[in-house]
């Protein structure tokens, strides 16, 4: 049986494009409309531009770091921001920022893809590593604590590493490739955990890591993962698609599977979940954790020591 995307592409070839009337190349996952490649490029680029405009994500003259992992999301993000920056005269000073978590056979390969992108777009690239910042790599952490809570540790380290890298680059904004699927998955995860604090924050298109922190923006908040993949495929962009070796069995994986099952029944479910997350209201007496600065490294935390500094069994390494 053919993969879903290939079946959609073959089926769409017999149908006219909803935009120009020409031969359709694909059925849009977001709307189900048949569309040709040029119209698909234009629609996706216009939608991202409208998101940027509507939410006022950038100001002219800002220096913006693109969180670049070498995966499909960050690769398409770098492509689109480069295109839109020129087309709409955003006036942004773009650069690439990558984090080397120290995962053998995974991150070292994906960083080669980032370097290819850097050469294509001719924008500066900075790579920061866990080893350099904390004295620990993810391989060392896993060897110490075993295969448990790996994504939790990595997530904390990665957020801090991106912040530190953006500071080194003296950036005004940090932009990440989190797409609509990612946001919907996070909403489901926080609902299942009963985590009111994270649920209220995870739907924001712009977040800040405390006083003096660099704002992070997500232009792909309403962009479907499948459409990002199709854009990368049609544009023949170089990206790394291997899953992290420590990801299988993560809580997010179960949320992703659940969301994909729902999407098969109702393609709009991803945006529906996001809109639901945005409109959830909490009672006034709902207790939210008070955010403070980590007493050791100064990064935002709900505890005296953030997980980067106070991780179990020494897995946190040196946060400062």
The annotated binding site for ATP is made up of: 67-69, 73, 99, 177, 182
Beta carbons within 8 Å of 174's beta carbon, 6+ residues apart: 64, 65, 67, 97, 162, 163, 166, 214, 215, 216, 217
Closest to 172 in 3D by CA, of 114, 126, 118, 217: 217
At residue 312 the predicted structure's pLDDT band, cuts being 50, 70 and 90, is very low
pTM value > 0.75: yes
Task: Give the span between the Cα atoms of 191 and 257, in whole angstroms.
Answer: 16
Which positions make up the binding site? Answer: 67-69, 73, 99, 177, 182
Q: Is the pLDDT of residue 109 over 90?
A: no
Looking at the chain, the domain(s) classified CATH 3.40.50.620 span: 41-289
Residue whose C-alpha is closest to residue 298's, from 143, 164, 120, 113: 164
Structure tokens at 216: 């992070």
What value does the mean pLDDT take over residues 242-256? 82
**Residue 47 pLDDT class (50, 70, 90 cuts):** very high
Distance in angstroms (rounded) separating the CA atoms of residues 306 and 114: 29
**Answer CATH for 41-289 from 2.30.30.180, 3.40.50.620, 3.40.720.10, 3.40.50.720:** 3.40.50.620
Strand bridging mode 206-207 / 93-100? unpaired
| 256: pLDDT strictly greater than 70 | yes
Mean pLDDT of 160-184: 95
Look at strands 216-217 and 206-207 and give their pairing. Answer: antiparallel
Q: Characterize 141-165 residue by residue with b for buried, 16 or more Cβ atoms within 10 angstroms of its Cβ, and e for exposed.
A: bbeebeeebbbebbebbbbbbbbbb
Average pLDDT, the chain: 85
> Is the per-residue pLDDT at 294 higher than 80?
no
41 DSSP 8-state letter: H
> Which segment, 6-15, 150-159, 256-265, is predicted with the most confidence on average?
256-265
290 pLDDT tier (thresholds 50, 70, 90): low
| Confidence check: pLDDT of 299 > 70 | no
């Amino acid at each position: 049986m053919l993969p879903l995307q290939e079946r959609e592409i073959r089926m769409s070839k017999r149908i006219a494009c909803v935009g120009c009337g020409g031969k359709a190349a694909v059925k849009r996952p977001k709307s189900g409309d048949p569309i040709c490649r040029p119209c698909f490029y234009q629609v996706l680029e216009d939608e991202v531009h409208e998101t940027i405009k509507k939410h006022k994500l950038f100001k002219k003259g800002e220096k913006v770091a693109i969180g670049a992992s070498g995966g499909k999301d960050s690769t398409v993000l770098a492509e689109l921001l480069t295109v839109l920056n020129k087309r709409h005269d955003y006036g942004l000073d773009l650069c690439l920022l990558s984090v080397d978590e120290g995962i053998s056979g995974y991150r070292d390969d994906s960083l080669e893809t980032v370097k290819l992108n850097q050469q294509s777009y001719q924008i500066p690239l900075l790579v920061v590593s866990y080893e350099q910042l904390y004295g620990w790599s993810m391989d060392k952490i896993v060897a110490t604590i075993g295969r448990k809570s790996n994504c939790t540790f990595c997530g904390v380290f990665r957020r801090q590493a991106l912040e530190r890298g953006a500071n080194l680059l003296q950036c005004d904004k940090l932009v990440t490739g989190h797409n609509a699927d990612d946001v919907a998955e996070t909403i489901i995860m926080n609902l299942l955990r009963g985590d009111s604090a994270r649920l209220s924050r995870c739907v924001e298109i712009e977040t800040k890591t405390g006083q003096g922190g660099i704002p992070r923006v997500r232009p792909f908040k309403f962009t479907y993962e499948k459409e990002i993949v199709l854009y990368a495929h049609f544009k023949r962009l170089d990206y790394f698609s291997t899953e992290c070796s420590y990801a299988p069995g993560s809580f997010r994986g179960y949320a992703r599977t659940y969301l994909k099952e729902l999407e098969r029944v109702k393609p709009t479910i991803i945006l529906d979940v996001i809109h639901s997350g945005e409109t959830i209201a909490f009672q006034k007496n709902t207790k939210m954790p008070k955010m403070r600065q980590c007493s050791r490294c100064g990064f935002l935390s709900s505890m005296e020591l953030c997980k980067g500094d106070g991780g179990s069994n020494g897995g946190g390494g040196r946060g400062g």
